[in-house]
A = this chain, B = another copy of it.
Amino acid sequence: MKNFVYENPTKIIFGEGQIARIGGEVKQFGRKVLLVYGMGSIKKNGVYDQVAGSLEKADLEVVEFSGVKANPVLSHARRGIDTARRENVDVVLAVGGGSVIDEAKTIAAGFYADCDVWDFFTRRAVIQKALPVLTVLTVSASASEMNAAAVITREEEAQKFSFRSPHIQPKISILDPTVQFSLDAAYSAYSAVDAITHMLEGYFNAKEVISPLQDGLVETLTKVIMEDIGVILENPRDYDARASIMWATTLAFNGLTTAGVGSFSLPAHMLEHPLSAIYDIAHGAGLSIVLPAWMRYALPEKEVKLALFARRVFGIDEKDDRQAALRGIEELKKWFASIGSPVSLKEAGIPESDLEKIAANAAVLAEVWGLRDYTAPVIEEILGHCI
């Protein structure tokens, strides 16, 4: 096991009926709150009313900032920063999924910034301070409700970049599994894909066993998520499955499974970001396309670990590592397809003729993230596996 620092101070309030507590929790951090949300789905599923009611009961002054889109964009976040400054809010409350939370984090960081907020994403500047962020989670996937990361797309150049800082880590997040009863099958599936990919980025960081502990946590959570999503696609209102997957997706990227893994990179995310940045597809949908392709690419180097994954997660009984690994990749692809997540660029309506453009975009991110092996030609080759 590698040396690590693990610190995750976010308080999670989990369960049915807990959204009513949000007003009291926000109140600890100030009197005037910027309520950040998306395109209005929370007004249909009752979450908005629960949140607004609780904030009112706590006698808080609320400034609304809505219209955050999936794959949130920098221009909109900039407007949020302007609003937060103009209204001089004390605290930011995100009510939504990863996109809303990430934009809220960006607004919280931008509020105090004396540089351009985009400089945090390009690593030109380091954030020193942010408004406190709280969340009410409505779509599980990113674990942004319990981590220090945010991802935003700068539309002009279709650059989907990220930054991390303890300053933007949510203070408190409320997770009520019932709010996802109305989440459609496709987004439920993308949520599972995203969470599993988060864990596998760390898991495949090493060629062989990292430690029975860390590998065991990833394998266990992966199998649990697969089981849960099977139940949910049959019955979207199954509380236990919704609760299990909600907590599992949070644990999948809150630092637990990567503690001890050593420094690790996110090659599948690097390959996916151009897809959702350029074509505005769901992040989970993009990941189910690129992850098996990346695994094929990584096979020569990571054969042993890929074989272990195949045996432990899919129960593949095959002694030869290469064969086991190949069958595991196929099983994962089949499973993605079975839950309705695309496994080729074509299925997502992305033309083969765009490969060069996509690769050029990804290569910029690879450079920012320090993934030196991933030059544009290498990326194009990998993407060639998922036409």
Q: Which residues of A contact B (CB under 8 A)?
A: 1-18, 177, 211-213, 216-217, 219-221, 223-224, 227-228, 240, 243-244, 247-248, 256, 259-260
Contact = CB atoms under 8 A, between A and B. Distances in A.
A14 B9 contact: no
A3 B14 contact: yes
A267 to B, nearest CB: 25
B247 A1 contact: yes
14 contacts: A1-B15, A1-B247, A3-B15, A3-B17, A5-B14, A7-B9, A7-B11, A212-B227, A213-B247, A217-B217, A217-B220, A243-B260, A247-B260, A256-B256
B16 A12 contact: no
Contacts of A1: 14-15, 177, 240, 243-244, 247
A264 to B, nearest CB: 16
A24 to B, nearest CB: 13
Contact of A13 (B5, B177, B228): B5
Nearest to A242: B1
B244 A211 contact: yes
Contacts of A240: 1, 211
Contact of A7 (B4, B12, B17, B177): B12
A295 to B, nearest CB: 23
A181 to B, nearest CB: 15
Contacts of A14: 1, 3-6, 259-260
Given A216-B223, A220-B217, A247-B260, A4 B15 contact: yes
Contacts of A221: 213, 216
A216 B212 contact: no
Contact of A212 (B7, B12, B219, B224): B224
A385 to B, nearest CB: 32
Contact of A5 (B4, B9, B12, B247): B12
Contacts of A15: 1-4
A212 B16 contact: no
B217 A213 contact: no
Nearest to A219: B220
A18 B4 CA distance: 10
Contacts of A224: 212-213, 216
Nearest to A11: B7
B244 A212 contact: yes
Contacts of A260: 14, 243, 247
A308 B106 CA distance: 46
Contact of A6 (B12, B16, B248): B12
B247 A259 contact: yes
A7 B13 CA distance: 9
Contacts of A7: 9-12
Given A3-B15, A216-B224, A211 B9 contact: no
A5 B175 CA distance: 10
Nearest to A256: B256
A223 B215 CA distance: 12
Nearest to A173: B6
B3 A211 contact: no
Contacts of A228: 212
A147 to B, nearest CB: 14
Nearest to A17: B3
